[in-house]
């Protein structure tokens, strides 16, 4: 019986990760256009995969391999390049696990320094590795053109790093704080904020970037200060989904003639929110709470 329980404990995270990787991969492709398997959209599976790898270690790398392989094959990428991309993404996860320990980053991301180290790891090591080798593999097997190599590398790098900066910290902190969170109120905050941002971006179509930033950030900062960092991270995920949906339906301030313009604009918007939430909670939370309490 103990052996069976150990096997279940080992296998279940792999199956869950493979399933989530595929489902959220298709979801990412649905929201914004792609060329084969290359998208400049926030590629949610990468953020999920990195979080699982950090939490569960090397044993879930197989889930990344399976999820990526299925995703590639079902999006008309041939078998050999699909296999190579799955291997490369698996190696990226192995590299991440090793470097996470080597750089002494807390899995709970307890300090701003931990978060900064994670971001540096993603931006300068993990995604350059994954984006460059994967796109070279696609060219070798004639899945993409050499003329688009630099652009495709940028798209791969940018979409993946946005997902990992947005999703990975949220999952990590959620995993370690789940017992402290009252789920229904937590979800309620996300629903209310989602409706609020939907009204501003899609229904009212606020067309001033700075006004929209102020209106979204004030609510986000307030909730982060009176509640907890995890609430701010959750609302950032909700904000990202509303923005991506607005681009998908060609509505709101983030819709321009070129996809690259949309991406840079909304990415800066989201990254500013993420940065402010982290700084507020890690450096100024006590002062903010005292200020709000009068």
DSSP string, 12-38: HHHHHHHHHHHHHHHHHHHHS-EETTE
CA distance 221 to 140: 47
Tell me which residue has tokens 């995920």: 237
For 264, half-sphere exposure in the C-beta direction (CA atoms, 13 angstrom radius) is: 7
Phi and psi dihedrals of 50, rounded to 5? Answer: -65, -40
Q: Is the predicted pLDDT of residue 34 greater than 90, yes or no?
A: no
Q: Which of 219, 197, 175, 203 is nearest to 266 (CA)?
A: 197
Q: Supply the pLDDT for residue 65.
A: 98
Phi and psi dihedrals of 35, rounded to 5? Answer: -115, 105
* CA distances in angstroms from 126 to 89, 111, 206, 288, listed in the order given: 9, 21, 36, 35
Q: Is the predicted pLDDT of residue 189 greater than 90, yes or no?
A: yes
Query: 205-258: per-residue pLDDT in tens?
Result: 999 999 999 999 999 988 988 888 999 999 999 999 999 999 889 899 998 767
Q: Is the predicted pLDDT of residue 186 greater than 80, yes or no?
A: yes
Residue 114, C-beta contacts closer than 8 angstroms, at least 6 positions apart = 105, 106, 108
Say if CB 63 and CB 44 are below 8 A apart: no
What does the pLDDT average to over 5-29? Answer: 86
Q: Is the predicted pLDDT of residue 2 greater than 70, yes or no?
A: no
DSSP assignment of 238-280, as one string? HHHHHHHHHHHTT-STT--SSHHHHHHHHHHHHHHHHHHHHHH
Q: Supply the pLDDT for residue 225.
A: 84
What does the pLDDT average to over 6-20? Answer: 84
Q: Is the predicted pLDDT of residue 95 greater than 90, yes or no?
A: yes
CA distance 114 to 292: 27
pLDDT band at residue 8 under the 50/70/90 scheme: low
Percent of the chain surpassing pLDDT 90? 71
Mean of pLDDT over the chain: 90
A 10 A CB-CB count for 30 gives 12
What does the pLDDT average to over 45-51? Answer: 97
What is the pTM for the complete model shown? 0.93
CA distance 229 to 277: 7
Q: Which residues of 191-202 are buried (b: 16+ CB within 10 A; e: fewer)?
A: eebbebbbebbb
Q: Supply the pLDDT for residue 258.
A: 74
Q: Is the predicted pLDDT of residue 9 greater than 70, yes or no?
A: no
More confident residue, 202 or 76: 202
Query: 152-168: per-residue pLDDT in tens?
Result: 899 899 999 999 999 99
pLDDT band at residue 282 under the 50/70/90 scheme: confident
Instruction: With both helix axes pointing from N to C terminus, report the angle between 112-121 and 79-102 in degrees, rounded to the nearest 10.
Output: 150
Q: Please, what's the largest Cα pairwise distance for the chain?
A: 64
What does the pLDDT average to over 77-91? Answer: 94
Q: Is the predicted pLDDT of residue 86 greater than 60, yes or no?
A: yes
């Amino acid at each position: 019986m103990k052996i069976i329980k150990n096997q279940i404990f080992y296998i279940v995270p792999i199956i869950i990760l493979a399933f989530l990787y595929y489902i959220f991969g298709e979801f990412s492709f649905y929201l914004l256009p792609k060329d084969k398997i290359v998208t400049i959209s926030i590629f949610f599976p990468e953020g999920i995969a990195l979080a699982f790898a950090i939490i569960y270690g090397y044993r879930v790398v197989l889930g990344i391999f399976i999820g990526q392989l299925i995703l590639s094959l079902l999006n008309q990428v041939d078998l050999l390049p699909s296999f190579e991309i799955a291997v490369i993404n698996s190696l990226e996860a192995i590299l991440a696990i090793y470097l996470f320990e080597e750089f002494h980053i807390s899995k709970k991301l307890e300090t701003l320094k931990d978060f900064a180290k994670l971001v540096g790891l993603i931006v300068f090591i993990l995604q350059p590795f994954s984006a460059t080798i994967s796109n070279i593999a696609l060219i070798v097997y004639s899945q993409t053109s050499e003329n688009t190599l630099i652009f495709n590398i940028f798209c791969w790098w940018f979409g993946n790093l946005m997902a990992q900066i947005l999703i990975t910290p949220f999952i990590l902190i959620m995993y370690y704080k789940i017992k402290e969170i009252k789920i229904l109120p937590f979800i309620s905050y996300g629903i209310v904020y989602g409706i609020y941002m939907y009204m501003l971006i899609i229904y009212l179509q606020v067309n001033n970037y700075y006004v929209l930033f102020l209106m979204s950030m004030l609510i986000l900062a307030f909730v982060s200060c009176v509640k907890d960092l995890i609430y701010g991270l959750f609302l950032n995920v909700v904000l990202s989904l509303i923005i991506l949906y607005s681009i998908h339906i060609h509505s709101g301030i983030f819709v321009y003639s070129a996809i690259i313009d949309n991406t840079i604009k909304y990415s800066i918007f989201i990254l500013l929110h993420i940065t402010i939430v982290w700084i507020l909670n890690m450096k100024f939370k006590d002062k903010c709470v005292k200020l709000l309490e009068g």
